[in-house]
A = this chain, B = another copy of it.
Amino acid sequence: MQVTDLFVSAPGKAILHGEHAVVHGKVALAVSLNLRTYLRLKATTTGKVCINLPNIDTFYSWDLSELEQLISYSGGKKEEGKLLDAELVGRLRDFIGVTNGNLDTCSMASLSFLYIYISLFRSSELPSLEVTVWSELPTGAGLGSSAAYSVCLAAALLCASGAIPTPLKEWDHTARWCQEDLELINSWAFQGEMIIHGNPSGVDNAVGTWGGMLRFLAGKIIPLSRVPLLRILLTNTKVPRSTKVLVARVKDKINKFPSIMAPVLDSVDAISCTCEKVLSEMTCEPITGEHYNTLEELIDINQHHLNVMGVGHPALDTLCQVTLARGLHSKLTGAGGGGCGITLLRPETDSTVVQTTVQDLRDLGFDCWETSIGGPGVQQHSPVSVKEEILEVLNRY
């Protein structure tokens, strides 16, 4: 079977509003973050499958003959989009040498790749190919880097297997798939996420697949039809934190002060709903300064509420102060207690202001990117539409 060469990319994810509150049955808004993961798939004639993950210094190569022995022909092929094929996962773990105590990023990344690859090609002949992935996203920062990786894998391998078409026309720079194909990409990406995370919410892969904004409530994920693209700064304070510890801290505070904390969660819920409404208005009426004023007020209020929940951090306070000194409004995004924050940029925000702010934040030891939220989900690229420095990395292998 001859596979087609292709480039795909998928965005990262940020929580705009509702982090932590979502654990307690409130709405959260997840948005695509235009720091993207890029994947190049190349057909080869080496009789091997290679995966190159230069971000994490991981380079694997397997003989097709080795991998063919992992396919069980004794049935057990699972229904698509349903639970994982536990038997295949088990065999792959043994093959790679992953034990329960050995869950490093490199092993997980190759495990989810091999799982999707073998699952999609098990009924035909395993093709000889090479996959190279490069991401603009920091890993382990709650920005959905593993989901962006899984979404790229799912899209590229589904195309290679012929399960979905390659949507790119000769004259296009980028192209996206139809709704049905996106559903399929998302379901395979979710399986990749299950291998990496065990029990993912499904939000990260949905954002990576559909892009834009998603409403997440009580386990239900609803992509929102239209949202504006918003310029932001994404800052990683690099203060390490444990999501589990922070979630427990909020729960403890709710248990200690139920009558005080329950209304705070209600207020966060209302912030998410108000934000959704404002963003929707921005797509169907002329965008005004007042829209941005409101978005800024919602950011400020939510940041105070997150501090009330006990998931703030002095580094995040510094982020808020430094950006506010330049008239920009910030909040933490994700688990908090350190980690990342987003800063809204207004359309009229001068590039000098942006550059100075970025420099100020880098001088504090933070990583900082100027990017956007609300952009497209997974897409296929023509080589010319891939940024030069990324193309250079992808073509190096």
- Give the B-binding residues of A (Cβ under 8 A): 256-257, 259-261, 263-264, 266-267, 270-271, 273-274, 294, 297-298, 300-301, 304-305, 307-308
Contact = CB atoms under 8 A, between A and B. Distances in A.
B259 A274 contact: yes
17 contacts: A256-B297, A257-B270, A257-B301, A259-B270, A259-B273, A260-B270, A260-B271, A260-B298, A260-B301, A261-B267, A263-B264, A264-B264, A267-B267, A300-B307, A300-B308, A304-B304, A304-B305
Given A304-B304, A304-B307, 9 more contacts: A256-B294, A257-B274, A257-B301, A259-B273, A259-B274, A260-B274, A260-B298, A263-B263, A301-B308
A274 B261 CA distance: 12
Nearest to A261: B267
Contacts of A298: 260
Closest 7 CB pairs of A and B: A263-B263, A259-B270, A263-B267, A263-B266, A304-B304, A260-B270, A304-B308
Given A304-B304, A307-B304, A263 B270 contact: yes
A90 to B, nearest CB: 48
A302 to B, nearest CB: 9
A87 to B, nearest CB: 49
Contacts of A297: 256-257
Contacts of A307: 300, 304
A297 B270 CA distance: 24
A261 B301 CA distance: 10
Contacts of A274: 257, 259-260
A24 to B, nearest CB: 13
Nearest to A259: B270
A308 B307 CA distance: 11
A276 to B, nearest CB: 12
A266 B257 CA distance: 13
A84 to B, nearest CB: 40
Contacts of A300: 307-308
A322 B267 CA distance: 29
A163 B271 CA distance: 58
A259 B305 CA distance: 14
Contacts of A308: 300-301, 304-305
A307 B256 CA distance: 23
* Max chain B Cβ within 10 angstroms of own Cβ: one of A260, A266, A300, A305: A260
A307 B297 CA distance: 11
